[in-house]
Structures are given as C-alpha cells and as structure tokens.
C-alpha cells in the first residue's frame, strides 16, 4: 500500500488509530512524534482487515438518498417502517400500527421532516442506549470503574468510542440497527474502561461479557453507517 493511499493526521494522542470512511477514504491518526516507519508498520499490521473492509464496501449496494416523503421506509431497531405524514399545528412523532407517524405543520417539507425525525431518533436512542449501559455496567462497577456519561453523536466512521474524560460516545445511527448490535457496541466501549486497546486481554474480557461478540461484530460491520 502506498503512502498516498491514506492521510496521516497528527495530534496529542498516545496511540495509533485507523479510520475507514464510507467513501473509502483512509485516515491514520497518530501521536505527534510517531515516525514514518511506525505509521507504515501500523498500516501493514492492519492490511488484511483494511482490504476486507474495502471489499465489503464495494459489494454493498449504493445507498439511495432519503427523500422524507409519505410511504418511504425508515429503519428503527433493525426494522423497516413506512413514514406516515399528516398535517397538524404541533409536531408529534410516534410508532403506531407498524408506521412511523409524523404530524407536522409542513408535512411536504423534507428538511423539516428530517429534523423532526432526527429529534425522535435521539430521544429513542437516549432511552435505549442508557438502559443498556445501566444493565451491563454493574459488572464493571465491581471492578472499580466509574459509569461513563452517554453522549449521542453523529459519526461518519465509527459506531462508538470511549473518552478518557469519562464519556461513552455512541453513534446516533446505531438506533437504526438491531438491539443485539447496539448491545455489542455498548459492551465493546465499556470494556475499554479496562483495556484501551484491542489486544488479547480486551478480547478475553469481551468474550466473558458477550460470548458471541465476534458474530455480532461481523453483522454490524456489514451495515453501512449512513
């Protein structure tokens, strides 16, 4: 792989990180003092994983841009629901009779419908994500860890991350995936409370918390972020 195939971003960080974006851009985030050889060796160590992910991206059908029109299907917890749009003075969103029902002052305005639906997704994500964190955190609490605070973010290249400042960052798009996929990401990030890398100790802890995590990881990695 040539050095022109990826972009190196240096910052005040301790570890090297590889990011693959949906448009196949590759970024390597490295410490300020990392040498070119260290970066090249890191990329080489990730080569098989990277090539597999790139092949997977090429095999996926292109995503059709959402139009936010009546009858268009949208995902929630892994299931498809058609939009049911109706005019009303005050906006409201709810799942009713197998449809995502949105009452809106301007139901024919895609931009406003998109913002209203995103607010609903964030409300649902806050409840679902926090419940899963609360369910699994006692295992980590007895090991001396402090519960991280949830932040729901829009991310282009990852499903979640754990901040050294005490935050667990989860991608809003996760609320569109099945519950077992969300659970995998939550446990993955909680395991980083103990191991900040993905080495053997981290994998052993993952297996202790979620024996089938590798299967769930494969399924999730096949889903596009957007």
pLDDT at 64 over 80: no
For residue 63, what pLDDT band results from cuts at 50, 70 and 90? low
Residue 222 or residue 188, greater confidence? 188
CATH number of 73-221: 3.30.2010.10
> Who's near 74: CB < 8 A, 6+ residues apart?
66, 80, 81, 82, 83, 100, 117, 176
Q: What is the pLDDT of residue 47?
A: 86
Residue 65 or residue 106, greater confidence? 106
Q: What is the pLDDT of residue 1?
A: 40
Cα gap 43→66, rounded to integer Å: 35
Joined together, the tokens standing for residue 109 give: 């305005």
Hey, which of 1-10, 21-30, 127-136 has the most confident mean pLDDT? 127-136
Joined together, the tokens standing for residue 108 give: 């024919």
For residue 197, what pLDDT band results from cuts at 50, 70 and 90? confident
Hey, which of 2-16, 73-87, 208-222 has the most confident mean pLDDT? 73-87
Q: What is the pLDDT of residue 65?
A: 85
Q: In terms of pTM, does the model score above 0.85?
A: no
What's the whole-number average pLDDT of the chain? Answer: 90
- H or E stretch at 99: strand 99-104
Angle at 131 between CA 130 and CA 137, to 5 degrees: 85
pLDDT at 104 over 70: yes
Query: Where are the domains positioned within the chain?
Result: 3-59, 73-221
For residue 60, what pLDDT band results from cuts at 50, 70 and 90? low
Q: Is residue 195 a contact partner of residue 147, using CB atoms and an 8 Å limit?
A: no
Q: What is the pLDDT of residue 49?
A: 80
Q: What is the pLDDT of residue 3?
A: 40
Q: What percent of the chain has pLDDT over 90?
A: 66
pLDDT at 55 over 80: no
For residue 157, what pLDDT band results from cuts at 50, 70 and 90? confident
- Tally of CB atoms within 10 A around 93: 18
Q: What is the pLDDT of residue 15?
A: 85
């Amino acid at each position: 792989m040539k050095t022109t195939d990826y972009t190196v971003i240096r910052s005040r960080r301790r570890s090297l990180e590889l990011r693959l974006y949906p448009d196949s851009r590759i970024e390597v985030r490295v410490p300020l003092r990392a040498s070119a050889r260290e970066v090249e060796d890191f990329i080489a160590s990730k080569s098989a994983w990277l090539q597999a992910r790139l092949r997977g991206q090429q095999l996926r059908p292109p995503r059709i841009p959402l139009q936010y029109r009546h009858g268009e299907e949208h995902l929630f917890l892994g299931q498809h629901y058609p939009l049911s749009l109706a005019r009303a003075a005050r906006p409201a969103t709810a799942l009713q009779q197998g449809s995502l029902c949105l009452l809106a002052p301007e139901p024919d305005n895609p931009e406003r419908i998109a913002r209203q639906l995103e607010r609903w997704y964030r409300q649902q994500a806050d409840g679902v994500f926090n419940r899963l964190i609360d369910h699994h955190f006692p295992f980590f609490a007895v090991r001396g860890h402090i519960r991280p605070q949830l932040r729901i973010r829009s991310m282009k290249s990852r499903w979640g991350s754990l901040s050294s400042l005490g935050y667990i960052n989860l991608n809003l798009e996760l609320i569109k995936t099945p519950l077992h996929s969300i659970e995998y990401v939550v446990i993955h990030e909680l395991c980083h409370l103990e191991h900040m890398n993905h080495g053997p100790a981290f994998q052993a802890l993952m297996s202790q918390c979620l024996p089938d995590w590798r299967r769930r990881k494969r399924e999730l990695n096949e889903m596009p972020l957007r």
